[in-house]
Each structure stands twice: as structure tokens, then as C-alpha cells.
């Protein structure tokens, strides 16, 4: 069955799930299922998260609510047509359900999609802090050494996960007794240091002697599919989660981890159920009567729901590799699978020391995937910082990658070679300078929590992606880069993804934009080239924009019992903020009800502060690119000027002015609501 909407011959198109080559789809044909592709190194088309939902930049959307195999021709055959073809086969008599949406701005189309399929599941707040992991942990001692090192090196981190192997066999809900002799003590140490813990997992029971009892139980209960097609995992066929008894049995075992302090899961694989190979069906049959015709998509919902239902009401963490429409109700975060640990584009031919392959894609593919997923209904994305295939990444790749992931909602750091930022080897080229850069960007990511969490809280009602592709946010520009985006309303991010580049060309949206690092104000609605040496991410704050932040010393978003670990849970503390003053009055309303307002007049700068429920201890605000100040009053009373930043830090309130960042006014205020008037010097 086929739908052929007539479209504008010049508009762009976003959505359709996760893709690695381009975030905008005009002129491309997109498969809605995983398919064999011998040209690429992974041997398949990397369509892990196909979503039959497309948004046009004129402010309309089409969602086809059907799980059958499908393909979208996005104005490829004809410039004024999108053609969506669904292989409904014997189910054709049931028809094809589809939804048409409209909005005044294309960013708002996703709100209607959520109204149809369900609001996205938010991860726990602590999941927005940086994560550290190794592809393979040697043992419990290494894990405990890693968490101690994280704190000794002052690396802002909220969580870790342990990847395989840690069980006696895949599908056995235990800890390998030699490798992890006292897991409960290890979990306690992890939590004590202000970290949360997740585990790698899959829906298989290994055909291994160590898993014999589990497998015998599953076979006795008929917990595997009635008919099994092509198996692509190393651990046999997946469980038949359409069978209620199998679903309940699996959840009973998952509780063996969650009841003992495991806070989340990295859910891998479960993509065995393909619709065909070489034109022939790969036939599967399940207990509920379904087959591969629909379960190639719907299995993911069952798999992820089994774990999502067991996470605490206060929030947890699921990092999932695959998904489809509606699965945003289960999935906390998507990661793109095994990208290359380099800066290759998707399908680029790579020659690496005599080894030649067609790349799945490295850093550019990760960035593109994050921008394609947001408009597809999956707002939280986290690529392996540094990549996976052909790891370790070299120094440049790793630095450019963490520059980018620091300005995404979720920052997870690990590679296929189990490198961590503080281990320097000849292969990875890391050193003290790269570690210092990592420390800076990891803490910036953590400090941005109030800003990002505010937009996350509005997803269900507003729907706008957290990472917004430039071409979707500003369709009037007529450009659709896959490497430039807005994080929320006020931050413009332009990661460097080209090897050896020390400058970055980008299109600035209308308005004026303040360089985060230098304070230079650039006029928008034009193309610019900015300096971007290694260690510097091109990052801009909208003039008139406000970015609320946590204090500079913050270590974690998770609870801690360690006195020397600075936790947001233990004390939200003073709210920091960065402001690019503008002549048009603007405000930022935080998730807790705190409100910050700013306006720059000809003779004075105005700041209004109203506290909310969480941030009650006062504010510390930096206003950049501002002329010198003659004096400041707060609630009509003069505010004291301090001699230095250290003196201001030691005071309950006050202000200083420096020439940094184009002229910076820093104002510190105590608890309560305040009205600030900063008079500009003549």
C-alpha cells in the first residue's frame, strides 16, 4: 500500500528515525527496517531506529502507524512527491492507518506525534551527568579502581556501566564469582561515591554449560519463538516476549539485579528478526500469532518494556540500540551501535594501515544520527564518545568527540578498546592536556543540567527536540547542515568533525550570537568562519539568551555519602547563570519555577530573579559583552562592589566587573526575589 503526498519542491524533510549520512532526507530513499548490505563493513544498512514519521519544513507531518516493512522515497523520484510504500502483504485488508499533522513552526510537529504515540520517557536526572565505561572490565578491582580514580582526578561523573562479560554466561542473572567476588560491596562503593550503575544486557540465554539450567527452564516453558528465522547473535535465538509467561519469567530475573541496586541497563542486540534476505522471507512465528512481518519492529517494544517497567518511579536509565515508533515511552536514551573510532563519514572508503573498508561512520555519523533522531520522537541520544570499531580513537578524534557530546543531553564516554580519558598509551595519544580538556568539557556538561532538564521537562507538552537541526529550527535559511544544531533555545553548537580542521564555517541564524569562549558578538543571518583549535568547540549564546547552570565545583547529579564529592542531590546550592544581554526583554523559566529576566537599555541593564522550589540559595550571574558599570542597586539598595573574584566568592553578595569576554559583570545575590539595576558608565 502506498501514500503519495504532494510536497513543496523546495522544502526540507526531517525525521524517519536514525540515519548516519544526512539529517535532512530530500533526494534519499529510506528503508524502515534493517536490511543486508554487503558494501558496508557492518554488512547491513544500520537502520536501527526506523520511524515512519516525516516532517516537512513548511510545518506539516505524516506518521504512518504501521509496523510492516516499508520504504520512504523522499522527493527522490519526483521533487514534489514523498512516496511511502508499505509491504502489508496478507494484512492488506486491514488497511493503512496514517496521521497528518500541521503546526505554525515545523519544530512543533513532533508534539502532535507524541499526542498520538505517547510522550517520551525521561531518564532519571542523574543520567544527564557524564557516564564512564569500558568495553570489557577485567574484574571488580578494576571497577573499584576506576571509580576512585574518577574522584581523585576531579572528573565530573554521575554514573558508570559495566559491559560484558560480568556474568557466568550471557542470560544468567548472576556475577562471575571469580571476576566479581563481592558485587554488593562494589555496588555500595559506586553509590557511596555519587555514581549510579547500569549493566549491559540482551534477551538471550546462551547455549553454554554455565547457562544450562536457565536454558532448560526456558525450553521447558516454550519461551522461545515457535519458528526461528535467521539468527544473527552469538547467543542463539531471542526469547519470545509475546508469550506472557516468558515475559513474566524474564522480568522475575531482571529483578535479581534491580533489587540489589542496579539502576539501569544498556540493552543491546535483539535485531535478529529481519523481514527477509535476498528477496526471500526469513520466517519467524511467535506465540501471539505474529510473524517477522511486524515483529521486526514490535519486538523492540516488548524487549524494552520488560526492563522499563522495573525502573524506579523516580527515574532510571535504559540505553537502547534499536527502537521504533512508540518506543520512546520505554527508552530513555538511544545509542547508535558500533560506530568507527575515527572521523570518517558514513560509507566513506577508509584506508587504515593497509586495511581498506567502507565505514559505518565515525564522529560525523554520530552527530548526524543525533539530529535525525530528535525530530523522530527520540530526544535523548548518546554515542560512544570516541567510537567503537577500529578503536582506540586517536587524540584528535577523542577530543573532538567529547567536545561534541558535552553539548548533548547525555554524555557517555567509552570506546571499543576500553580506553578511559586518564589512561595514556602510544595508540591513543592521550596526555595531560587532553585530560584537562576532558575535565573542562565534562564539567560544562554537568553544569548545564538545569538548562537541559528544563527543556526535557517540556517535551511532553511542547514536543520540540532537545537538539534541533539548524535547517528545521530556521527553515527560512534554506540550508540543512548535518553538523550544526541548537541545544534548547539559546545555545548554537557547531562541532568540528573534519580531521585537521582548526576553523569552522557555519551559517548563523538571524539575530546576534555571543561566542561562549571569547565574548565576541557576531551578527547573524550570514555565513561566518570562526577559529576552532583543538580543544575549542564553536559554541554560541543567543544575544538576549539566558543559560542557567550549576556551580563550578559540582561533581555529580547522584546522591553520595562521600564528604569530598560535591553532589547536586545533597545541595542544589546557588544557581549560576550566563547571560548575553539584549535590548529585547527575555526570560528563562526553570523546571523548578525559578525565573530569570533580563533587558539591556541604553543606560542600564535590568535583571529580575524569582526563586523556585529547588534553587533557593541565591544566584550568581555572569553578564557578558557589557559596557563598564558605574554602580548597582538591588531592590533599590546599593550593592557592594568587591575587589576580586575571590573576594566575591567569600561574600554573601556583591559584584565585580572585568574586561574578560568583552566585558563581564558578575552579580552575586542571596536568597529571595530581587530586582537588579546596573547603571552603565558614561
Span 161-185, mean pLDDT?
Answer: 97
- Strand runs labelled E in 561-603: 575-579, 586-589, 595-600
Cell of 536: 575549542
Q: Is the pLDDT confidence value at 121 over 90?
A: yes
Domain edge (last residue) among 101, 117, 133: 117
Question: 477-493 pLDDT, tens per residue?
Answer: 999 999 999 999 999 99
The reported pLDDT for the residue numbered 352 is 87
| Burial label, 5 (beta-carbon count in 10 A; 0-12, 13-18, 19+) | middle
The reported pLDDT for the residue numbered 570 is 87
Pair 239, 286: CB distance under 8 Å: no
Question: 561-579 pLDDT, tens per residue?
Answer: 999 999 999 899 999 999 9
Position 239 in a domain: no
Position 89 in a domain: yes
Domain edge (last residue) among 64, 91, 117: 117
Contacts of 287 (CB under 8 A, 6+ apart): 222, 225, 226, 240, 242, 243, 246
Residues 144, 124: Cα–Cα separation, whole Å: 23
The domain that holds 90 is classified in CATH as: 2.60.40.1760
The reported pLDDT for the residue numbered 165 is 94
Residues of the domain holding 62? 2-117
User: ∠ at Cα 21 (20, 23), nearest 5°?
Assistant: 85
Residues 291, 278: Cα–Cα separation, whole Å: 18
Q: Is the pLDDT confidence value at 315 over 90?
A: no
Pair 554, 568: CB distance under 8 Å: yes
Q: Mean pLDDT over all residues of the chain?
A: 97
Q: What is the residue-wise DSSP string for 196-231?
A: EEEEEE-S---SSGGGHHHHHHHHHTT-S-SB----
The domain that holds 584 is classified in CATH as: 2.60.40.1180
Position 240 in a domain: no
**274: closest CA among 326, 319, 226, 237?**
237
Span 610-621, mean pLDDT?
Answer: 98
Burial 400-427 (b: 16+ CB within 10 A, else e): bbbbbbbbbbbbbbbbbbbbbbbeeeee
| Burial label, 87 (beta-carbon count in 10 A; 0-12, 13-18, 19+) | middle
Position 358 in a domain: no
The reported pLDDT for the residue numbered 1 is 97
pTM exceeds cut of 0.75: yes
Question: 622-680 pLDDT, tens per residue?
Answer: 999 999 999 999 999 999 999 999 999 999 999 999 999 999 999 999 999 999 999 99
Question: 373-407 pLDDT, tens per residue?
Answer: 999 999 999 999 999 999 999 999 999 999 999 99
Q: Is the pLDDT confidence value at 324 over 90?
A: yes
The reported pLDDT for the residue numbered 536 is 98
Position 524 in a domain: no
Q: Is the pLDDT confidence value at 354 over 90?
A: no
SS3 content of the chain, % helix, strand, coil (to 5): 25, 25, 50
Question: 502-558 pLDDT, tens per residue?
Answer: 999 999 999 999 999 999 999 999 999 999 999 999 999 999 999 999 999 999 999
Alpha carbon 209 to its chain's center: 38
The reported pLDDT for the residue numbered 375 is 98
User: How many folded domains does the chain comprise?
Assistant: 2
Q: What is the residue-wise DSSP string for 258-313?
A: HTTT--EEEE-------S-BTTB----B-TTS-BHHHHHHHHHHHHHHHHHTTS-T
Residues 122, 130: Cα–Cα separation, whole Å: 16
Q: Is the pLDDT confidence value at 312 over 90?
A: no
Helix, strand or coil, per DSSP, at residue 564? coil
Count Cα atoms within 13 angstroms, Cβ side, for 414.
22
Q: What is the residue-wise DSSP string for 627-681?
A: --EEEEEETTEEPPBPSSHHHHHHSSSEEEEESGGGSEEEEEE-SS-EEEEEEEP
The reported pLDDT for the residue numbered 353 is 83
Residues 428, 423: Cα–Cα separation, whole Å: 9
Span 421-431, mean pLDDT?
Answer: 97
Position 232 in a domain: no
The reported pLDDT for the residue numbered 390 is 96
Position 584 in a domain: yes
C-alpha separations of 478 from 73, 74, 83, 503, 589 in Å? 21, 17, 22, 23, 31
Position 477 in a domain: no
Residues 294, 31: Cα–Cα separation, whole Å: 15
Domain edge (last residue) among 51, 84, 117: 117
The reported pLDDT for the residue numbered 271 is 96
Q: Is the pLDDT confidence value at 198 over 90?
A: yes
Amino acid at each position: 500500500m502506498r501514500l503519495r503526498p504532494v510536497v513543496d519542491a523546495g522544502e526540507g524533510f526531517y525525521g524517519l528515525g536514525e540515519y548516519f549520512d544526512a539529517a535532512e532526507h530530500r533526494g534519499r530513499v529510506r528503508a524502515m527496517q534493517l536490511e543486508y548490505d554487503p558494501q558496508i563493513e557492518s554488512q547491513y544498512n544500520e537502520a536501527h531506529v526506523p520511524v515512519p514519521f516525516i516532517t516537512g519544513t513548511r510545518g506539516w507531518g505524516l506518521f504512518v502507524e504501521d509496523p510492516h516493512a516499508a520504504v520512504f522515497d523522499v522527493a527522490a523520484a519526483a521533487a514534489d512527491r514523498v512516496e511511502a510504500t508499505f509491504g502489508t502483504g496478507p494484512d492488506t485488508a486491514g488497511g493503512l492507518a496514517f496521521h497528518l499533522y500541521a503546526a505554525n513552526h515545523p519544530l512543533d510537529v513532533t508534539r502532535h506525534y507524541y499526542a498520538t504515540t505517547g510522550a517520551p520517557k525521561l531518564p532519571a536526572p542523574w543520567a544527564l551527568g557524564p557516564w564512564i565505561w569500558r568495553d570489557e572490565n577485567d574484574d571488580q578491582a578494576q571497577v573499584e579502581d576506576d571509580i576512585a580514580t574518577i574522584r581523585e582526578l576531579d572528573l565530573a561523573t554521575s554514573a558508570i556501566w559495566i559491559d560484558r562479560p560480568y556474568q557466568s554466561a550471557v542470560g544468567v542473572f548472576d556475577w562471575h564469582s571469580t571476576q566479581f567476588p563481592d558485587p554488593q560491596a562494589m555496588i555500595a562503593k559506586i553509590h557511596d561515591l555519587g555514581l549510579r550503575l547500569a549493566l549491559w544486557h540482551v534477551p538471550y540465554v546462551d547455549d553454554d554449560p554455565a547457562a544450562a539450567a536457565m536454558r532448560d527452564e526456558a525450553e521447558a516453558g516454550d519461551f522461545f519463538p515457535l519458528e526461528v528465522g535467521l539468527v544473527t547473535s552469538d547467543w542463539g535465538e531471542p526469547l519470545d516476549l509475546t508469550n506472557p509467561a516468558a515475559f513474566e519469567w524474564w522480568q522475575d530475573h531482571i529483578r535479581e539485579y534491580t533489587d540489589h541496586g542496579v539502576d539501569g541497563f544498556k540493552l543491546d542486540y535483539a535485531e535478529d528478526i529481519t523481514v527477509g534476505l535476498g528477496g526471500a522471507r526469513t520466517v519467524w512465528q511467535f506465540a501471539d500469532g505474529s510473524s517477522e512481518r511486524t515483529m521486526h519492529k514490535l519486538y523492540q517494544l516488548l524487549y524494552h518494556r520488560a526492563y522499563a517497567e522495573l525502573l524506579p518511579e523516580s527515574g532510571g536509565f535504559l540505553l537502547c540500540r534499536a527502537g521504533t515508533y512508540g518506543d520512546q515511552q520505554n527508552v530513555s536514551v538511544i545509542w547508535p551501535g558500533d560506530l568507527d573510532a575515527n572521523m570518517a563519514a558514513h560509507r566513506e572508503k577508509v584506508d587504515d594501515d593497509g586495511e581498506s573498508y567502507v565505514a559505518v561512520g565515525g564522529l560525523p555519523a554520530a552527530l548526524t544520527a543525533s539530529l535525525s533522531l530528535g525530530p523522530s520522537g527520540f530526544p535523548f541520544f548518546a554515542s560512544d564518545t570516541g567510537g567503537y570499531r577500529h578503536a582506540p580513537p586517536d587524540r584528535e578524534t577523542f577530543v573532538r568527540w567529547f567536545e561534541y557530546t558535552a553539548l548533548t543531553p547525555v554524555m557517555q564516554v567509552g570506546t571499543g578498546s576500553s580506553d578511559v580519558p586518564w589512561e595514556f598509551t602510544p595508540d591513543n595519544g592521550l596526555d595531560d592536556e587532553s585530560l584537562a580538556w576532558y575535565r573542562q568539557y565534562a564539567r560544562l556538561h554537568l553544569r548545564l543540567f538545569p538548562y537541559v532538564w528544563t527543556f526535557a521537562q517540556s517535551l511532553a507538552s511542547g514536543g520540540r527536540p532537545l537538539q534541533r537541526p539548524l535547517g528545521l529550527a530556521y527553515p527560512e535559511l534554506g540550508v540543512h547542515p548535518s553538523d550544526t544544531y541548537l541545544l534548547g533555545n539559546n545555545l548554537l553548537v557547531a562541532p568540528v568533525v573534519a580531521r585537521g580542521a582548526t576553523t569552522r564555517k557555519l551559517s548563523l541564524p538571524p539575530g546576534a550570537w555571543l561566542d561562549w569562549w571569547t565574548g565576541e558578538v557576531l551578527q547573524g543571518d550570514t555565513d561566518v568562519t570562526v577559529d576552532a583549535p583543538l580543544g575549542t568547540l564553536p559554541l554560541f549564546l543567543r544575544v538576549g539568551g539566558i543559560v542557567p547552570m550549576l556551580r563550578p565545583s559540582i561533581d555529580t547529579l547522584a546522591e553520595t555519602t562521600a564528604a569530598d564529592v560535591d553532589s547536586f542531590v545533597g545541595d542544589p546550592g546557588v544557581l549560576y547563570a550566563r547571560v548575553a544581554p539584549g535590548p529585547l526583554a527575555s526570560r528563562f523559566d526553570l523546571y523548578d519555577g525559578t525565573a530569570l529576566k533580563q533587558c539591556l537599555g541604553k543606560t542600564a541593564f535590568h535583571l529580575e530573579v524569582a526563586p523556585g522550589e529547588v534553587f533557593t540559595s541565591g544566584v550568581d550571574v555572569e553578564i557578558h559583552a557589557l559596557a563598564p558599570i558605574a554602580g548597582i542597586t538591588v531592590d533599590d539598595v546599593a550593592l557592594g562592589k568587591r575587589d576580586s573574584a575571590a573576594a566575591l566568592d567569600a561574600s554573601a553578595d556583591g559584584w565585580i566587573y572585568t574586561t574578560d569576554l568583552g566585558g563581564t559583570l558578575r552579580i552575586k545575590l542571596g536568597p529571595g526575589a530581587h530586582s537588579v539595576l546596573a547603571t552603565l558608565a558614561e
